[in-house]
Chains A and B, each alone.
Chain A
């Protein structure tokens, strides 16, 4: 079964609304998680580093006020796309590292966001 779970897998929302995506590590604690975005037929780009109990670190060009990241517990990070627009439609995927298992990286299943 999935070691890192993302929810929802698919979401359609209207322009101007906000949508929240959850990334949960199921069998281990992850003080640091990462959020990536993948536009159709493109590669994965790191958006931000999610830090438990502190502010996220955003990559250059990623708007922190638009992509709100909260990492309130050792097993859960959330990405909220605020005031979504069609250009935010993308595949969002998170990852977490299990340090107790040889620093194994686990990716979530990904979340497809379509903004209409």
Chain B
């Protein structure tokens, strides 16, 4: 069965600093990987996804992630964070079920931005 680990429960960075959120997955086949962001009291917004091809994936809001099969990782990065990036970030791995994608989420990383 697939699983996702986000080692960092809470990260604090200063505005304008670079960011890297870690994600490690376990899955027997080629994984479908996702990063979502959730603001307090809100639903999920997809930042980016990896299905195949180029292992460096560009997403919205200036985020990118790199799939490293050898390390079973899919870390999320942003070169310069903005105060509006403060939120909860979830990494997820997908498995195809009857043509649909079932997601297993990591525990989440809460990002706090210092002014």
With A43-B107, A44-B90 known as contacts, the answer to whether A49 contacts B44 (CB < 8 A) is no
With A109-B43, A110-B43 known as contacts, the answer to whether A46 contacts B104 (CB < 8 A) is yes
- Flag whether A95 is at the interface (Cβ < 8 A): yes
A97 contacts B101, CB within 8 Å? yes
Question: Given the complex of chains A and B, what is the CA–CA distance between A32 and B99 in angstroms?
Answer: 8
CB distance from B49 to the nearest CB of A (A): 8
B21-48 with Cβ < 8 A to chain A: 34, 41-44, 46
Q: SS class of chain B's interface: helix, strand, loop or mixed?
A: strand
B73-115 with Cβ < 8 A to chain A: 90, 94, 96-108
Select A34's contact among B34, B51, B103, B107, beta carbons within 8 Å. B103
A33 contacts B43, CB within 8 Å? no
Per-residue interface assignment for chain A, residues 32 to 62, with 1 indicating a CB less than 8 Å from any chain B CB and 0 otherwise: 1110100000111110010100000000000
- Flag whether A12 is at the interface (Cβ < 8 A): no
A43 contacts B106, CB within 8 Å? yes
A99 contacts B99, CB within 8 Å? yes
Binding site for B on A (CB under 8 A): 30-34, 36, 42-46, 49, 51, 93, 95-97, 99, 103, 105, 107-110, 112
Q: List 26 A-B contacts (CB under 8 A).
A: A31-B99, A31-B100, A32-B99, A34-B100, A34-B102, A34-B103, A43-B106, A43-B107, A43-B108, A44-B44, A44-B90, A44-B103, A44-B105, A45-B105, A46-B104, A95-B101, A95-B103, A103-B51, A103-B99, A105-B34, A105-B46, A105-B101, A107-B43, A107-B44, A110-B42, A110-B44
Closest 10 CB pairs of A and B: A32-B100, A97-B100, A110-B43, A44-B105, A32-B98, A43-B105, A109-B43, A107-B44, A43-B108, A105-B101
Binding site for A on B (CB under 8 A): 34, 41-44, 46, 51, 90, 94, 96-108
Beyond the given pairs A32-B97, A49-B97, A93-B44, 11 more chain A to chain B contacts, judged by CB atoms under 8 angstroms and listed by A's residue number, are A31-B99, A32-B99, A42-B108, A43-B107, A46-B104, A96-B100, A97-B100, A97-B101, A105-B94, A105-B101, A105-B103
